Amino acid sequence: MKWDPEKYVQFADHRDRPFFDLTSRIVSDAPGLVVDLGCGPGPLTRSLAERWHEARVIGLDSSAEMIEKARAHQHAPNLSFDLADAQSWMPEPDTDVLVSNAMLQWIPGHRELMVKWLTALRPGAWFAVQVPGNFSSPSHALMRELADSPRWAAQLSGVLRHDDAVGEPEDYLKILLSAGFETDVWETTYGQVLEGRDPVLEWVRGTALRPIFAKLSPEKSADYEHEYAQLVSRAYPPFSGPAGQCLTMFPFRRIFMVGRKL
Whole-number pLDDT of residue 12 = 72
Domain count, the chain: 1
Averaged pLDDT score across all residues of the chain: 94
Mean pLDDT of 20-27: 97
DSSP H helices in 102-209: 110-120, 138-147, 153-156, 169-178, 199-205
Tell me what the mean pLDDT of segment 68-87 comes to: 97
Model confidence at 252, pLDDT cuts 50, 70, 90, reads very high
What percent of the chain stands above pLDDT 90? 89
Give the angle subtended at the CA of 3 by the CAs of 141 and 23, to the nearest 5°: 80
Residue 84 lies in domain: 5-261
pLDDT score, position 1: 59
Q: Which long-range contacts (CB under 8 A, 24 or more apart) does 51-60 make?
A: 51/23, 52/28, 52/78, 52/97, 53/77, 53/78, 54/30, 54/78, 55/30, 55/31, 55/96, 55/97, 56/32, 56/80, 58/33, 58/34, 58/82, 60/35, 60/36, 60/84, 60/86, 60/89
Of 56, 116, 65, 57, whose CA–CA distance to 86 is shortest?
116
CATH number at residue 255: 3.40.50.150
pLDDT at 148 over 70: yes
* C-alpha–C-alpha distance, residues 61 and 31, integer Å: 21
Average pLDDT (189-216) is 93
pLDDT at 15: 86
Contact predicate 217/208, CB 8 Å: no
